[in-house]
Amino acid sequence: MSLLTHDTIGILKEAKTPEDCIIAAGEYLEKGGYITNDYTKAMIKNFEINGPYFVLAPALAMPHARPTDGVLKNGISLITLKTPVNFGSENDPVKVVLALATSSSDEHLEYMSKIAMALREEDIIERIYHCQSIEEMMNII
């Protein structure tokens, strides 16, 4: 997952609501120049309209929006939450949020496939969640 960098990882972030989680993950992408704030707003709007469809596995949320909503370049942010958050999904509570920003639908599918392959490893979400440093997380990923 080469789109994930030290600068796009946050450990034990404070968040009380799903929207807080999305904002926290979006901030890493915004600061890195991957997206505009419009993209973060679009991720929140997707949640408000469509519900927690992006809570793809137990404890994992992967919010995203359309490339036209403000993607400047491809990027991924990953945050772990200090306190797990309920999104209203059967896979609640969410402990890890991985925000995906891609500049085309084809790239979106490509990275979703790569992420799915990376997450197939047994207990990978729990291992990521319990990381104490960015270096430790990068080694696991």
Would you state the pLDDT for residue 2? 57
Q: Are 94 and 85 in contact (CB under 8 A)?
A: yes
DSSP secondary structure of 50-96 = H-STT--BTTEE-----GGGTBSS-EEEEEEEEEEE--SSTTPSEEE
> Does a structural domain hold residue 1?
no
CATH code, domain carrying 107: 3.40.930.10
> Does a structural domain hold residue 135?
yes
| Least trusted range by pLDDT, from 3-7, 118-122, 128-132 | 118-122
Q: What is the rounded average pLDDT of the residues 4-17?
A: 93
Is residue 1's pLDDT more than 70?
A: no
Q: Which domain holds residue 40?
A: 6-140
More confident residue, 117 or 79: 79
Tell me which residue of 81, 84, 90, 89 sits closest to 131, measured CA to CA.
Answer: 81
> Does a structural domain hold residue 27?
yes
> Does a structural domain hold residue 92?
yes
> Does a structural domain hold residue 36?
yes
Separation between Cα atoms, residue 107 and residue 65, nearest integer Å? 13
Is residue 119's pLDDT more than 90?
A: no
The number of folded domains in the chain is 1
Q: What is the rounded average pLDDT of the residues 53-66?
A: 93
Which residue has tokens 């490339």? 67
> Does a structural domain hold residue 98?
yes
> Does a structural domain hold residue 54?
yes
Determine whether 64 is an active site residue.
yes
Would you state the pLDDT for residue 84? 97
- Contacts of residue 98, defined as CB under 8 A and 6 or more positions apart, other chains included, come to 25, 60, 61, 62, 76, 77, 78, 115
pLDDT band at 92 (very low <50, low <70, confident <90, very high): very high
Q: What are phi and psi of 13, to 5 degrees?
A: -80, 145
Q: What is the rounded average pLDDT of the residues 43-67?
A: 94
Q: Are 39 and 69 in contact (CB under 8 A)?
A: yes
The pTM (predicted TM-score) of the whole model is 0.91
Q: What is the rounded average pLDDT of the residues 83-109?
A: 91
Q: What is the rounded average pLDDT of the residues 82-110?
A: 91
Would you state the pLDDT for residue 132? 92
